[in-house]
Each structure stands twice: as structure tokens, then as C-alpha cells.
């Protein structure tokens, strides 16, 4: 089945540093999404990408939909302590489906 490989698995950075994480797939996706999950909570949508090559920002977050439709990356600039959490990429396959396929997550820790 379709799988997403998300990297890195975890990151420990200093406050103020920029962060980059990415997601690759063995097959193409219609849409890419990035979520953040805090402990004990459900995922919260950060950015949605709809077109190959699309670059979208949300505050200090920037994400891109890869031109091959098989990858996406998320950048966080000038990290702050509240950026701590688990970041998930998710892809929606083509076709009439409500399903999202999630990556394994990138755990981000920020040292003040």
C-alpha cells in the first residue's frame, strides 16, 4: 500500500534556529497537508497544498508540494519553545477517497 517516509524522526534544536523536515512517498498524491500534534491532543492542520510546485506560508511556516507529487517539505523559521510537538505530513490519494495517509511524524524539541 501507499506509505509516507518522513524525516528526520526527531530534532532537538536551539530557540531561534530554522527547522526543515520532509516527506516522501512511493506514489503520487493529489494533496499534501502538514499537521502538528501536541501530547494528548488531536492533530491540528497547519498548511494544505493543492498543486504540484505550490509554495505556501503560514506565519513562520512554509511548505512546498514537490513537482513530482511524491514529496513535500515543511520549514519553520526562527523556532520558539511553543513549536515543540510532533509534526505529521499527510497525503490524499487521487480518486474518490476521504482517506489521508500520514507519515510517522517528526518530533521537534526546542531548547530555550
Q: How far apart are CA 11 and CA 84, in angstroms?
A: 10
Among residues 56 and 77, whose Cβ is nearest to another protein? 56
**98 scored as a contact of another protein (CB under 8 A):** yes
Residues in region 30-69 near another protein by CB under 8 A: 31, 33, 35, 40-45, 48, 50
Locate the DSSP E strands across 30-97: 31-37, 44-49, 55-58, 61-65, 71-76, 85-92
Compute the least distance from the CB of residue 17 to another protein, in Å. Answer: 24
Interaction site with another protein (CB under 8 A): 4, 6, 31, 33, 35, 40-45, 48, 50, 88, 90, 92, 97-105
Amino acid at each position: 500500500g501507499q506509505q509516507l517516509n518522513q524525516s528526520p524522526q526527531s530534532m532537538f534544536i536551539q530557540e531561534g534556529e530554522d527547522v526543515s523536515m520532509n516527506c516522501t512517498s512511493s506514489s503520487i498524491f493529489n494533496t499534501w497537508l502538514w499537521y502538528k500534534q501536541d501530547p494528548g491532543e488531536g492533530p491540528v492542520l497547519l498548511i494544505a497544498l493543492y498543486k504540484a510546485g505550490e509554495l505556501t506560508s503560514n506565519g513562520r511556516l512554509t511548505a512546498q508540494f514537490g513537482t513530482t507529487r511524491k514529496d513535500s517539505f515543511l520549514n519553520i523559521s526562527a523556532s520558539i519553545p511553543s513549536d515543540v510537538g510532533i509534526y505529521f505530513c499527510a497525503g490524499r490519494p487521487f480518486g474518490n477517497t476521504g482517506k489521508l495517509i500520514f507519515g510517522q511524524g517528526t518530533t521537534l524539541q526546542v531548547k530555550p
